[in-house]
Amino acid sequence: MNPTPSKHIVQVGESLYTIAKKYNLTVAELKQLNPLASSNLRVGQELTVTTATPPSVAPPEAGEHIVKAGDTLYSIAREYEVTVAHLLKLNHLTSHNLKIGQRLRIRDKSTESKTNQPEIHIVERGDSLHTIAQHYGMSVTELMTLNQLNMGTLSVGQKLKVNYKPQTKTETNTTPQNPDYEEYNVEKGESLYAIARKFGLSINELKIFNQLNSDMLRAGQILKIPTKKIMNYPAKNIENTTLPTENKSIEEDLQNADNQDISIKNIPQPAKLEDLAEVKTNGLPAQVRAIIEARKIFQIEATSGVEIFDTPLRGPVGRNHVNRPEDLAKVQARLIQLKMLAAEHQESPEILQKKYGSGAITSNYIPQTIEAIERFQNQFRVRFWIEHSSRVAMLQTNSFTPGVIIPNDVTYKVLREFTRYKLSFPHPQTQQAMSVQFENFPRSAATKYYLGVSYTGTANPEIPLNVFTRLGLNETLAKALKFVARNEGNFDAINTYDEGIFSYGFIQFAGNGGGFAPLMAAIKYKAPKLFEEFFQKYGIDVEYSVFDEAIRTAKMIVINPYDKGGKYIIEGLEAERVIRSDQQLYGVFIRAGHHLPIITLQIDSAIRAYVQPALQIKLNIIAGTLNLSNVAITDFVKSPLGLALLIDLTVNRWTSQTRDILRDAIEKIALRNKMVSEKELHQIDEKQILEQVLVDANLKRDEILIRRLQALLSSGLSSEKIK
């Protein structure tokens, strides 16, 4: 019995996309159901939109999937936790197109039947119990039970029993080499942010994968969404990087990190974080306790007013007010702690009551205290927190009075919650004790979280030029990035106050969908033992996949022993927020930023995340008779100075703003110098480009950009074009 197809009559304004969406189809599936010569439709046209599966069709067998409306290879691969390449090979498919009712094999029956004779997997670099179990369609518990594992760390070359045989490397190499992606049709009003969130990507990943130079999208635009399962990242040869460190080179450090059992004395090694939830003893899981123990090398001291104001003020303290003795005593104790008021001020309630009896303590009795309050308000720029509605919302008050502290006004909140931190830990190489200090309430136009910090760091060694060239840069680019690395920031820097949630490193690899998680993923992939020693041991991990030689879909994971609901493993943006709010964990990253192999890995990630996208920028130049379309920025910018400008702008403004800034500057110079040919434009003075960008920045009063440009002008970098 043949199925009865369902029909749709095309209405005014409809398209293949809107019709496909209405019936839970893809455009490709709708075209398969109808012999269409093009994507153009006419009003009244009849389209087949579904065809029911005949009743006589047998249900899917074990290890088999019947394609239904809306299915794609990507969605099926995700459902069964296999790769798209696996489905292509197993089903002898030459394209990604599927038909409704089509049967797909998910597992190889010949190997699935060998349940009593498990195959062997040899552990490779980067493997974990989680990734191995996922690859073979097993749970971590099944894999551990089959191999009688006891949560220990895996070692390269270790043999594990698995349930069925995967594709061999030879077989994998014979699969189609087409990129594994799903096409997505942009709907009206959708943004890159919304689409990135929908597919678990970052905005930067989506832009790089689709070679987008702008954040703007148009309805109907097709975006490629990469699969999450491909793990074919060819690691750069970082082991060959030479940067001397106390009679060691980076290749020795990495070799030691990856081939030896590195551990800190008397601190138990935790298992992989993804396995922690499966082993619990009485109370906390055993591995969570091990992580708490490991974190003890990071000693945190916090000095704030929270303990002094253990009970809140009952009334105002300061100028022109009657001051309650208990309130006055608390304010004075906090001002002494902050060195705003001398300890011997002689204005304590006890002294005043002895001198003048038990009458009211008015402002004329406490001039030093009032002066200290005003000094605190000025030195800490307390008014800053009421000058913008976003800051008022953060502190939940817009009340401010000079010389007075009122319960729950902005002065009281800063006085109570301002915290100075001192973090101590052993240096990663010398093991000598070192300490760093930072504080909250960072005053910046970008502040979104007043309890966050801006720690500039101290790790900024002189990096030899050959470190950059051995990471794949030519000498000109190496000089440019070396300057940026030297002047951008320190390798142990941390910001936790802005929308980036947790930003780390010399170019502030930002969280919240930015470069932070991909940086951590790159460290883990290229130096897994190093990552285990510096991060996993302390309950910090990252889950990631790789596509087209770039880290994709990376997300942070953190162990939070203090979670009241017993959810110890926190993932994604929530994990970044946990790290942000736990200042002890800052020590993990600060300490790692002093380790030279991790410095090198930061530089390598910067090349991938910023240098390579910067070099791919295309410009449209319109200047007088000149009208050039889609020309490479590197046709005009070729000198160390120009490339440093290009990289520095991309780091701080990303590619879309960098393109606009440089295009405007080049067009103005071309008009001023009456350039009429592309050949003339190729010879443009790159120092003039920088100077024009500086002029434009001054007109816009962009102080941050002005400082960066002035540093570039005084850098000594050559503006001579390198062929």
Examine the pLDDT at 638 and tell me if it is beyond 50: yes
- Residue 209 CB: number of other CB atoms within 10 A? 19
Per-residue pLDDT at 130: 63
Q: Token pair 């000095």 is at which residue?
A: 303
The answer to whether residue 495 scores a pLDDT higher than 50 is yes
- How much is the pLDDT for 336? 96
Which CATH number belongs to the domain containing residue 9 in this structure?
3.10.350.10
Using an 8 Å Cβ cutoff, are 328 and 402 in contact? Answer: no
Angle, vertex CA 371, rays to CA 367 and CA 373, nearest 5: 115
3-state DSSP call for residue 140? helix
User: 596 and 463, same structural domain?
Assistant: yes
- Of 271-275, 305-309, 707-711, the poorest mean pLDDT is in 271-275
| Cα-based angle 577, 583, 584 (whole degrees, multiple of 5) | 120
pLDDT of residue 574 exceeding 60, the answer is: yes
Q: List, for residues 291-326, the tens digit of each pLDDT value.
A: 888 999 999 999 999 999 999 999 999 997 789 999
- Residue-wise pLDDT for 152-169, tens only, equals 567 777 888 887 544 343
Q: Supply the pLDDT for residue 704.
A: 83
Handedness of CA 681, 686, 689, 693 (dihedral sign): positive
Specify the higher pLDDT residue, 250 or 272.
272
pLDDT exceeds cutoff 90 at 212: no
Facing residues of 317 across strands?
405
- The pLDDT of residue 581 is 94
What proportions of the chain, in percent to the nearest 5, are helix, strand and coil?
40, 15, 45
* Same domain flag for 449 and 536: yes
Residue 309 counted as domain residue: no
In order, the DSSP letters of 52-66 are: PPPTTSPPPPTTEEE
Domain of 21, in residue numbers = 5-51
- State the DSSP string of 240-251: G----BTTB-HH
Identify the pLDDT of residue 451.
96
Cα(449)–Cα(504) distance, rounded to whole angstroms?
16
Phi, psi of 346 (to 5 degrees): 65, 25
- 644 phi, psi to nearest 5 deg: -65, -40
d(CA 133, CA 284): 25
CA dihedral 691, 697, 699, 700 (to 10 degrees): 170
Q: Are residues 519 and 413 in the same domain?
A: no
Residue bearing the bigger pLDDT, 200 or 99? 99
Find tokens 């070099």 and name the residue: 615
pLDDT at position 564: 64
Mean pLDDT of 33-45: 76
Task: Over range 173-191, report the average pLDDT.
Answer: 60
* pLDDT-based confidence at residue 283 (cuts at 50, 70, 90): low
pLDDT higher than 60, residue 465: yes
Is 340 inside any structural domain? yes
C-alpha pair distances (Å), 361 with each of 329, 354, 405: 12, 12, 15
Over the range 378-416, which residues count as b (16 or more CB within 10 Å of their CB) and which as e? eebebebbbeeeebeebbebebbbebbbbeebbbbbbbb
Average pLDDT, the chain: 80
The residue among 542, 573, 606 that closes a domain is 606
What residue spans of 429-561 are helical by DSSP H?
A: 465-469, 475-488, 516-526, 528-534
* Residues 552 and 689 grouped into a single domain: no
DSSP notation for 666-677: HHHHHHHTT--S
The number of beta carbons lying within 10 Å of the beta carbon of residue 99 is 13
What is the DSSP pairing of strand 317-318 with strand 618-623?
unpaired
Query: How many Å apart are CA 144 and CA 138, to the nearest integer?
Result: 10
User: What is the per-residue pLDDT across 639-680, written as a single tens digit (0 to 9) for each?
Assistant: 999 999 999 999 888 888 999 999 999 999 999 999 988 888
User: At which residue do the structure tokens 């050039």 appear?
Assistant: 628
Has residue 58 been placed in a domain?
A: no
Judged by average pLDDT, the poorest of 52-61, 277-286, 427-436 is 52-61
Looking at the structure, do residues 388 and 509 belong to the same domain, yes or no?
no
**What percent of the chain stands above pLDDT 70?**
77
Residue 258 has pLDDT above 60, yes or no: no
Residues 449 and 588 in one domain: yes
Distance set, CA 484 to CA 231, 478, 647, 655, 687 (Å): 31, 10, 8, 16, 17
Beta carbons of 415 and 400 less than 8 angstroms apart: no
> Which burial class, exposed, middle or buried, applies to 696 when counting CB atoms under 10 A from its CB (0-12, 13-18, 19+)?
middle
Shared domain for 211 and 244, answered yes or no, is no
**Residues 330, 391: one domain?**
yes
Report which listed range, 4-13, 53-62, 630-639, is most confident: 630-639
CA distances from 397 to 253, 382, 403, 408 (A): 52, 12, 17, 7
Same domain? For 341 and 404 the reply is yes
How far is 503 from 514, CA to CA, in rounded Å?
9
Q: Is 70 exceeded by the pLDDT of residue 197?
A: no
CA dihedral over 268, 269, 273, 275, signed as positive or negative = negative
Q: Quick one: pLDDT at residue 66?
A: 87
pLDDT over 90 percentage in the chain? 41
Higher pLDDT, 205 or 180: 205
Confidence of residue 37 (pLDDT cuts 50, 70, 90): low
Strand 103-105 relative to strand 119-122, pairing: unpaired
Q: What is the pLDDT of residue 60?
A: 62
- Which DSSP category does 483 fall into? H
Question: Is residue 458 in some structural domain?
Answer: yes
Look at strands 404-405 and 317-318 and give their pairing: antiparallel
DSSP helix/strand/coil, 422: strand
What is the pLDDT confidence band of residue 442, given thresholds at 50, 70 and 90? Answer: very high
Tens-digit pLDDT profile for residues 23-33: 777 776 787 78
522 and 375 inside one domain: no
- Measured in degrees and rounded to the nearest 5, phi and psi for residue 482 equal -60, -40
pTM: 0.63
Cβ–Cβ under 8 Å, residues 74 and 81: no
Number of helices (H), then strands (E), in the chain: 29, 21
Beta-bridge partner residues of 48:
7
Domain membership of residue 23 (yes or no) is yes
* 126 has pLDDT over 70: no
Segment among 241-250, 390-399, 439-448, 473-482 with least mean pLDDT: 241-250
Q: How many structural domains is the chain composed of?
A: 5
CA dist., res. 538 & res. 524, Å (int):
14
267 lies in some domain: yes
Task: Look at 74 and 593; give whichever has higher pLDDT.
Answer: 593
In this structure, is residue 312 part of a structural domain? no
Which of 538, 572, 606 represents a domain boundary (last residue)? 606
Residue 122 structure tokens: 């040899």
Which is higher by pLDDT, 510 or 567? Answer: 510
Q: Is residue 189 part of a domain?
A: yes
Does residue 503 or residue 488 have the better pLDDT? 503
Separation CA 517–CA 556 (nearest Å): 6
- Same domain for 627 and 600? no
**Which two structure tokens, joined as six digits, stand for 705?**
């950009």
Neighbours of 497 (CB within 10 A): 23
pLDDT at 36: 76
Domain end point (choices 417, 436, 454):
417
Question: Radius of gyration (Cα) for the chain, nearest Å?
Answer: 31
Domain identity same for 550 and 459: yes
Strand ranges for 294-375 from DSSP E? 299-303, 317-318
Q: How far apart are CA 139 and CA 132, in angstroms?
A: 9
Strands (E), 20-178: 46-51, 64-66, 103-105, 119-122, 159-162
Least confident stretch, 233-247, 560-574, 653-667: 233-247
Q: Contact at 8 Å (CB) between 290 and 280? A: no
Give the relative orientation of helices 325-337 and 349-356 as an angle to the nearest 10 degrees.
130
